[in-house]
Amino acid sequence: MIIIDGINSQSNFAAAQMAASFGPQEIRDDPLDWINVEKNSSTLLGDVSTDIVYVNYFSDGRVLNTTMWLLFPFNESLSTDRGQINYGMLIDADFNPSTGVDGVDYQVEISGENGTWTRKFLQWSTHGTFRTLYRNDNYTGFFEKQGGYINLDVDLSSIGSPQQYRVLFYGESFNEGNLLTDFTEWIQIPPPSLEIVVPSSVIEIRPGEERKIDIQLKSTADSETEVLLTSRQQVNASSNIEVGFETDKVNLLSQSVQTIPVGIRALEGSQSGQKKVTIVANASFPASSIVDQSRVLIDGEENDDSGGDGSDGGHVDNMSNPNPSDDSDSLPSSSAIPTNATKSIRLPHALSTKSILSQATLDVRVLSSISSLDSILGWLDKFQSLILFSLGILTGLIPWLFKKLRTIS
């Protein structure tokens, strides 16, 4: 069953267009990696049923289908036995950290308390206020008993059917008043790619020679990418080919193409024959800061907290809702703030994103070594035109010189 988030007042244009579609993807999240969001510190005291270890996701352009796999089997009585439990997704719908709350434009959350589960879909403003677009009390059908997973789907038309967006997942519980949350990495959708473009023709080289070629790195990531270049050969290859990069560490700008000069050298004694050399690019993304630590709002007023010790975790805090008549009575439980307090989303300073491993194969043909005679013949062949031109001039000058010498004598 597909749960439709959002309201029915979407424009005809938004309803007609499709978001980006892509096949099944998977990310891994380290176990036992909760964060105490009050202190912005790691902890091992989180509830094992909120520990996300894998997330599978795919989309047909209409719905983002996701499955969060948990370290410990899910039990519907969790919210009765252990207090409030939450599972959710934060969405950066426009890939813009300046909109919403530090980039978070929408939030989908399934929260359980006193044996009842509720699904909420919220929209966040840049001012830190939010409205409830959808709420389903007594929510069911998102898990299988002892199944160890949570299903969380989003109707993409409810967030404008974006062509590019980011999401992160979380599971959380309360422990002695502290909110202990397991965050995944930020996930770029559609998944970023890194392509290595190498020459399509075979590179011919003799032992002792070096050839210069160019390769290209093409990135679709929407952030700067750090790329480490390496090479490897067939395990049983005896070609002794060396690959030298002009630089093996590249800072690739977002959605850009960069050319890298590469030297291919066959060492002396290399056996002749067709060889394959693999170019490997390991791309990683810097930690993605999602909260400006100097921007802390207290009772609706901005306070410069840049000189503090950061003990509050650098979260966007205490954002008041100036419109009490708005449909915002349901505070996102990930804020860990009492319902009569001001409202916020609380996140750690930074979350990492996944790495990309890409590779391409060069075809190299090592030719036989040439003998001294072959070297001389090759030299003569190379300069044949110049030699013939010089002989032609000399042939024309000899009669003139001979006549000149006879006149003088």
Q: How many CA atoms lie within 13 A of 245 on its CB side?
A: 18
pTM > 0.75? no
Single out the residue of 91, 281, 304, 317 nearest to residue 198, CA to CA.
281
Q: How many CA atoms lie within 13 A of 167 on its CB side?
A: 27
| Residue at 23 is within a domain | yes
CATH number at residue 241: 2.60.40.10
Which stretch of DSSP H or E encloses residue 44?
Answer: none
Number of domains in the chain: 2
| Residue at 4 is within a domain | no
Q: What DSSP state is assigned to residue 343?
A: B
Per-residue pLDDT of the chain (409 residues; tens, 9 = 90+): 333 344 444 444 444 578 889 999 998 888 998 988 888 788 898 988 899 999 999 999 999 999 999 998 876 666 666 678 899 999 999 988 889 988 899 999 999 888 789 999 999 999 889 999 999 998 988 887 777 899 999 999 999 999 999 999 999 998 888 889 999 988 889 888 899 999 999 999 999 999 999 999 999 887 788 899 999 886 555 558 899 999 999 998 888 999 999 999 998 888 888 889 999 999 887 655 443 333 333 233 333 333 333 333 333 333 333 333 344 333 334 433 333 323 456 566 555 556 788 999 999 999 988 765 566 666 666 666 676 777 777 777 777 777 777 777 6
Which stretch of DSSP H or E encloses residue 167?
Answer: strand 165-175
C-alpha to C-alpha distances, 239 to 202, 214, 236, 253, 367, nearest whole angstrom: 15, 21, 9, 35, 10
Residue-number span of the structural domain to which 309 is assigned: 12-191+289-351
What is the SS3 assignment for 318?
Answer: coil
What's the rounded Cα separation, in Å, for the pair 322 and 337? 17
| Residue at 407 is within a domain | no
Domain co-membership, 89 together with 182: yes
What's the rounded Cα separation, in Å, for the pair 133 and 142? 19
Domain co-membership, 184 together with 225: no
C-alpha to C-alpha distances, 407 to 393, 398, 400, nearest whole angstrom: 22, 14, 11
Domain co-membership, 62 together with 142: yes
Q: Which of 328, 351, 374 finishes a domain?
A: 351
Domain co-membership, 96 together with 138: yes
Cβ-based neighbours of 316, under 8 Å, separated by 6 or more: 101, 102, 128, 291, 295, 296, 297, 344, 345, 346, 347
| Residue at 344 is within a domain | yes
Domain co-membership, 130 together with 207: no
Domain co-membership, 222 together with 262: yes
Single out the residue of 230, 236, 237, 235 nearest to residue 275, CA to CA.
237
CB 367 within 8 A of CB 374: no
Domain co-membership, 251 together with 327: no
Domain co-membership, 99 together with 201: no
Looking at residue 328, its pLDDT comes to: 38
Cβ-based neighbours of 242, under 8 Å, separated by 6 or more: 263, 264, 265, 266, 267
Domain co-membership, 134 together with 251: no
Looking at residue 380, its pLDDT comes to: 65
Single out the residue of 297, 324, 337, 316 nearest to residue 90, CA to CA.
316
Looking at residue 224, its pLDDT comes to: 84
Looking at residue 408, its pLDDT comes to: 73
Looking at residue 2, its pLDDT comes to: 35
What is the SS3 assignment for 127?
Answer: coil
| Residue at 186 is within a domain | yes
Residue 153 phi/psi, 5-degree rounding, is -115, 155
Strands of the sheet with 203-205, listed across from one edge: 203-205, 356-366, 273-284, 225-233, 249-252
Residue 82 phi/psi, 5-degree rounding, is -125, 15
Cβ-based neighbours of 128, under 8 Å, separated by 6 or more: 101, 297, 316, 319, 320, 343, 344, 345
Tokens of 126: 């840049």
